[in-house]
Amino acid sequence: MGIYKVILLTLLTLSSPLALAEDDSTEELLTAGELLKSCEDGSTPGSPNQYCMRYLFGYIQTVIMLQQAEQSPPIFCINPRVTPIEEATDNMIAFLRSQASRSNEAAQQIVLEGLNKMYPCSGNNL
């Protein structure tokens, strides 16, 4: 499970937007609640908004790239030929909603957990 933490820390570092404080610079991560709000804006089931689909697509690609570089076992197994990005995005939105009590946590962590639960590597998805 050590690679899980390495990937999460790398993703947090690479994908976090910077927010400037009045006197100094601090890093502020996108929260699960903020991601959910952005994903719900203009989305309908089967037709999520472009922002959300791009976020998830980029996130999946980044995790896969890091796993390949580390030669670590996959955290999730999603086949784009079987599962369209729209469906995966709808599933991510549903998972974010189910984790409402964690809305102030880093979106990257919640999304990674969701992908792991929704697309386990059982051999069926490969």
Residue 85 lies in a domain: yes
pLDDT digits (tens, 9 = 90+) for 14-49: 444 433 334 444 468 899 999 999 999 998 888 999
pLDDT digits (tens, 9 = 90+) for 48-90: 999 999 999 999 999 999 999 999 999 999 988 899 999 999 9
Gyration radius of the chain over CA positions: 15
Residue 39 lies in a domain: yes
Residue 93 lies in a domain: yes
Please give the tally of structural domains in the chain.
1
Q: Which domain holds residue 55?
A: 2-118
- Map 57-92 to HEC letters: HHHHHHHHHHHHHHCCCCCCCCCCCCCCHHHHHHHH
Predicted TM-score of the model (pTM): 0.74
Residue 124 lies in a domain: no
